[in-house]
């Protein structure tokens, strides 16, 4: 998981993301990075079943992905790069 954490950190440092949380569909945090409570972001992203949320004065974007047959939720604050989901899928499949 170290590579995944490094990738999420790089999205926060260079990719326009303020915070990012990858969680299972029940809200269990797999990895996260950035400013704020990423564990909470993962929970509300997964349990809301919405694509956009407002919380703590921030707009969050929620994207769903499947890796190795497991549904996961990616919750992001800020402007994520278009290929963030593809990058995460590549890392988790390897």
Pairwise CA distance, residues 65 & 53, whole Å: 18
CB 16, CB 78: distance < 8 Å:
yes
Domains of the chain plus CATH, in order, are 2-93 (3.30.450.30)
pTM assigned to the model = 0.89
The answer to whether 44 touches 54, Cβ cutoff 8 Å, is no
The Cα–Cα gap between 56 and 48 comes to 15
Quote the pLDDT of residue 93: 84
Provide the percentage of residues in the chain whose pLDDT is more than 70: 96
Q: Which residues of the chain have pLDDT under 70?
A: 1, 81-82, 94
Are the C-beta atoms of 45 and 60 separated by less than 8 Å? yes
Output the pLDDT for position 79: 81
């Amino acid at each position: 998981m170290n590579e995944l954490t490094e990738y999420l950190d790089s999205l926060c440092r260079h990719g326009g993301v303020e915070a990012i949380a990858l969680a299972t569909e029940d809200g269990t945090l797999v990895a996260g990075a950035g400013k704020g409570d990423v564990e909470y972001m993962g929970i509300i992203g997964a349990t809301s079943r919405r694509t956009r949320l407002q919380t703590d004065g921030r707009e969050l974007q929620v994207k769903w992905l499947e890796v190795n047959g497991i549904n996961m939720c990616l919750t992001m604050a800020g402007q994520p790069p278009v290929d963030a989901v593809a990058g995460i899928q590549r890392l988790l499949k390897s």
